[in-house]
Amino acid sequence: MTNPICSSRRGSVLGALACAILISGTMMLAQQDAALNSIQSIKTAQAGGVDIAITSTTGFLQSDVPVLRIGDQEFMISRYPEDGSANTLIFTLTAEEFDRTRTGDKVTFQYGRGDGRNHRDFGLLDKTRRDK
């Protein structure tokens, strides 16, 4: 698909400059999005489960069900941290659920179940970070 700004000024120096600014701005937003989300910790929880804490500068404040996707699995048991921060969610997995995940699985967050068209990327799971 052609960008309308780039195609409307094709051949002009101003058009080339506008395209360069648009493309670099888009790349910066994509880089910022990746930098804003992270897996904060992976810890053994009480009763043998595993807590995965994710953080985002965007915060988690919607009314739909928060869903953590690891690979093709969905997890919906979550809570805010004790300090009440809306920028962190802690998802609790059973030991069996955590065992079914693999290092290198893609980790995303979304509201509601399903294909995750409006998801946030949290990188790849590194199971060696557990309790570190």
Instruction: Report which of residues 63 and 1 the model is more confident about.
Output: 63
Instruction: Report which of residues 2 and 130 the model is more confident about.
Output: 130
Kindly report the average pLDDT of the chain as a whole number.
81
b/e for 60-97, b at 16 or more Cβ within 10 A? beeeeebbbbbeeebbeebeeeeeeeebbbbbbbeeeb
pLDDT above 90: residue 118: no
Q: What is the pTM of this model?
A: 0.71
Domain boundary assignment for the chain: 4-33, 38-129
| pLDDT for 35 | 44
**CATH number among 2.40.30, 1.10.10, 3.30.410, 3.30.565, domain 38-129:** 2.40.30
